[in-house]
Amino acid sequence: MASPEFLRPSDRILIVDDFLATGQTISALVRLVEEAGAELVGIGTLIEKRFEGGRALLEGLGVPIESLVVISDMSDGRIVFAE
Residues 34-50: pLDDT tens digits? 999 999 999 999 999 99
Tell me the average pLDDT across 3-10. 86
Nearest alpha carbon to residue 31 among 10, 7, 67: 7
Per-residue HEC secondary structure of 2-36 comes to CCHHHCCCCCEEEEEEEEECCCHHHHHHHHHHHHH
Strands of 80-81's sheet, edge to edge?
12-20, 39-49, 65-73, 80-81
- Fold annotation for 13-81: Rossmann fold (3.40.50)
Domain layout of the chain by residue ranges: 13-81
**Is the pLDDT score of 83 beyond 90?**
no
How would residue 1 be classed by pLDDT, with cut points 50, 70 and 90?
A: low
Q: Is the pTM of this model over 0.85?
A: yes
- pLDDT over threshold 80, residue 75: yes
